[in-house]
Amino acid sequence: MEKSEIVELFNKNQVFWTDGSCSCNPGPGGFGVISLKVEELDNGKIRKYINYAYSEECEHTTNNREELKAILHVYKYFAPEKQSDETVVIFTDSGYCYNLINSWIWIWCENDWRKSSTNKVVDNVDLIKELFKYLCKFPNIEVHKVKGHKDILENELADALATGNKTKFLNLCKKNNIEDF
């Protein structure tokens, strides 16, 4: 992407990066959500600053639950009705969440929240049902998949929030000249 395309993506839309984490799976975990704003400076460089950052911890959870909770957080607090004409774009490194939102959830709903192959109720059905309500109400929210831990700055920031790694978060901000709110 060209610099101007990056600036346009970030400024035309509400763009969020989400991540979930868990130690021992199941075990203690959390999720993180971050949104950066970008502007192109007169000298052609890009200035990034934190528009929104949020994290939450959970004593006993799974990685997939935390990934879902991060995306649900964006739906709950930044749905289009609260953002007027803006599109909401969510980036996740979770293949589970990406596939769930863009494919599986519709099949599971038709199958009374059961997997076709086993006829067992899908895992995380409470969160998935809640997410389904948002998907139906706000079909124009886009969810995209990125590769995790591949030096994508925003994904690494969301990971630092999800894991409660304040040092990593601050170091990434400093290294990349990201300004606070």
Q: By the 8 A CB rule, do 90 and 18 touch?
A: yes
d(CA 14, CA 83): 8
Cβ neighbours of residue 150 under 8 Å, at least 6 residues apart? none
Q: In the structure encoding, which two tokens stand for residue 92, read together?
A: 């996740």
Residue 40 has pLDDT above 60, yes or no: yes
**Residue 151: band (very low, low, confident or very high) from pLDDT cuts 50, 70, 90:** confident
pLDDT tens digits for 43-94? Answer: 888 788 999 999 999 999 999 999 999 999 999 888 765 655 677 889 999 9
Residue 181 has pLDDT above 60, yes or no: no
- pLDDT of 67: 98
- pLDDT of 136: 87
Active site residues: 19-20, 67, 93, 149, 159
In percent, the amount of the chain with pLDDT more than 70 equals: 88
Domain limits of the chain?
3-93+141-175
pLDDT tens digits for 5-15? Answer: 555 665 667 89
Q: 22 burial class (0-12, 13-18, 19+ CB within 10 angstroms)?
A: buried
Q: In the structure encoding, which two tokens stand for residue 175, read together?
A: 């290294």
Cβ neighbours of residue 159 under 8 Å, at least 6 residues apart? 19, 21, 32, 148, 149, 165, 168
Fold (CATH) for 3-93+141-175: Nucleotidyltransferase; domain 5 (3.30.420)
Angle at 31 (CA atoms; ends 25, 32), nearest 5 degrees = 150
Q: By the 8 A CB rule, do 144 and 90 touch?
A: yes
